[in-house]
Amino acid sequence: MADSAAAAAAAAVQPATVGQAVIPLVNRLQDIMARLDGEAAGGVELPQVAAIGGQSSGKSSVLEALVGRDFLPRGPEICTRRPLVLQLVRHSAPEEWGEFLHAPGRRFDDFEHIKREIQSETDKEAGGNKGVSDKQIRLKIFSPNVIDITLVDLPGITRVPVGDQPSDIESRIRTMIMQYIKHPSCIILAVSPANADLANSDALQLARLGDPDGSRTIGVITKLDIMDRGTDARNFLLGNVIPLKLGYVGIVNRSQEDINFNRSIKDALAFEEKFFSTLPAYHGLSQCCGVPQLAKKLNMILLKHITDMLPGLKSRINAQLVAVAKEHAAYGDTAESTAGQGVKLLNILGKYCEAFSSMVEGKNKVSTDQLSGGARIHYIFQSIFVKSLEVCKSNSLTYLHSRHVSMLLQFTVC
């Protein structure tokens, strides 16, 4: 029953040929941009969906339900410690596998291996004791059971530092999240648990900072099955409490006990479908209840968002291409072979060294408005450096001998 619901949701959106072309295109652009630093990317912001939520919001369960497989590290404390860019690619073959951008040519057929790879890469960058990093992990999952979606799973908001986390861990994570959601190109997936105070949800409060008018935020309300007896989330799902233009979707998560006893996502989806069909409070809300509806909604919203942004995105990328072409032309004729490119690079470095030497020796034409070259270096040593040394306490320099200075000077001479 759950499989048929997911398949129906996938079939409902897959015939749109624009979706089959546009989302993979943006995925390829994201992979290219990921290899560039911020300056080289030229400030080009690509459309994406960022998932945010508190530490126990059920965000990981939402992502695993969208994939239909267990693949994320789990634990009682913070699990997502690096942004995970998750690209879901629907294909017709029955096989399911994952590929990481940092491991080109390697295919992960076992989803337990995917989980271990995420954990390993996280520990490599952020340490093994709960540290966090803003360096992305990029994972692409191919499956016949998913809908084309690209999501960024961001670290959950936490208030109490654990392990090697700094005392300002909450501020750092909030800053990291804002770096994504502040851009108009980002759709915000704000995940909030129904068994907490939804009106004071961390995710919705952060989303309001990045998206004040609520025009690009989707609310996801998790754990609907464990709300206090006699209460429900109907008014929230209808947008009567905190209105969002993209609306809300309510879902039922697997509990930690379900995960501990290896309850499958397939069984969890079947339970979710039964829950919504039997509880009167959610009758008439089928369009905003359940994981299949969330997948369909995300796909359609992302498609529209990309389509709306394409003209401006194309203009910005073309402007960058023109600028790079002009810079490239300034280097002279294009070298096709690797050897030719090496020679050209050496020539550029040689010209730079000549220009730098001329500046230091005072041979080039410079403005007389300010000191430059050797005169500037002399001024720094005689004025700024000496004054700094005078400020230092004498005992701070007790062990600084002339031989140490000589050793340091050896590394400063080209």
Instruction: Read off the pLDDT of each residue in 281-298 and give the average, rounded to a whole number.
Output: 94
Q: Does 316 lie in the same domain as 204? A: yes
DSSP assignment, residue 154?
P
Residue 386 counted as domain residue: yes
Q: Looking at residue 38, what is its pLDDT?
A: 56
Q: Confidence band (pLDDT; 50, 70, 90) for 9?
A: very low
pLDDT tens-digit series, residues 163-185: 777 788 888 899 999 999 999 99
Q: Confidence band (pLDDT; 50, 70, 90) for 128?
A: confident
Give kind and range of the element (H or E) at residue 48.
Answer: strand 48-53
CATH, residue 86:
3.40.50.300
Q: At 116, phi and psi to the nearest 5?
A: -70, -35
DSSP assignment, residue 289?
B
Q: Does 350 lie in the same domain as 252? A: no
Indicate whether 8 pLDDT > 60.
no
Residue type, 301: I
Instruction: Read off the pLDDT of each residue in 267-288 and give the average, rounded to a whole number.
Output: 93
pLDDT tens-digit series, residues 306-321: 989 988 888 988 988 8
Residue 326 counted as domain residue: no
Indicate whether 6 pLDDT > 70.
no
pLDDT tens-digit series, residues 60-73: 899 999 999 999 98
pLDDT tens-digit series, residues 187-216: 999 999 998 888 889 999 999 999 999 999
Q: Does 282 lie in the same domain as 402? A: no
Indicate whether 52 pLDDT > 90.
yes
Q: Confidence band (pLDDT; 50, 70, 90) for 17?
A: very low
Q: Looking at residue 22, what is its pLDDT?
A: 84
Instruction: Tell me the whole-structure pTM to 2 decimals.
Output: 0.76
Tell me if residue 390 falls in helix, strand or coil. Answer: helix
Q: Does 339 lie in the same domain as 390? A: no
Indicate whether 256 pLDDT > 80.
no
In percent, the amount of the chain with pLDDT more than 70 equals 84
HSE-up of residue 228 (Cα within 13 Å, Cβ side): 3
Q: Looking at residue 298, what is its pLDDT?
A: 93
Q: Looking at residue 257, what is its pLDDT?
A: 80
Question: Among 44-58, 128-142, 208-222, 328-342, which stretch is predicted with the lowest mean pLDDT?
Answer: 328-342
Residue-averaged pLDDT of the chain: 83
Q: Does 302 lie in the same domain as 183? A: yes
Indicate whether 15 pLDDT > 70.
no
Q: Is 205 exposed, middle or buried (0-12, 13-18, 19+ CB in 10 A)?
A: middle
212: Cα separation from own chain's centroid: 21
Residue 27 counted as domain residue: yes
Residue 329 counted as domain residue: no
Q: Does 345 lie in the same domain as 283? A: no
> In which domain, by residue range, is 400 found?
369-414
Q: Does 81 lie in the same domain as 150? A: yes
Indicate whether 16 pLDDT > 60.
no
Q: Does 354 lie in the same domain as 229? A: no
Residue 327 counted as domain residue: no
267: Cα separation from own chain's centroid: 30
Number of domains present in the structure of the chain: 3
Mind giving me the DSSP string for 165-188?
--TTHHHHHHHHHHHHHTSTTEEE
Please state the three-class secondary structure of 59-71 as a single string: HHHHHHHHHCCCC
pLDDT tens-digit series, residues 394-412: 545 555 555 555 555 554 4
Q: Does 114 lie in the same domain as 184? A: yes
Q: At 190, phi and psi to the nearest 5?
A: -95, 110
Residue 330 counted as domain residue: no
Residue with the bigger pLDDT between 45 and 16: it is: 45
Q: Does 65 lie in the same domain as 185? A: yes
Q: How far apart are CA 167 and CA 201, in angstroms?
A: 22
Are 171 and 48 spatial neighbours (Cβ–Cβ below 8 Å)?
no
Q: Does 283 lie in the same domain as 350? A: no
Q: Looking at residue 75, what is its pLDDT?
A: 67
Indicate whether 230 pLDDT > 80.
yes
Q: How far apart are CA 407 and CA 114, in angstroms?
A: 48
Q: Does 360 lie in the same domain as 299? A: no
Q: Confidence band (pLDDT; 50, 70, 90) for 358?
A: confident
Q: Is 24 exposed, middle or buried (0-12, 13-18, 19+ CB in 10 A)?
A: middle
In percent, the amount of the chain with pLDDT more than 90 equals 43
Q: In Å, how far are 82, 128, 151 from 85, measured between CA atoms?
A: 10, 21, 6
List the structure tokens of 368.
Answer: 């007389």
Q: Looking at residue 366, what is its pLDDT?
A: 63
Instruction: Read off the pLDDT of each residue in 267-296 and give the average, rounded to a whole number.
Output: 93
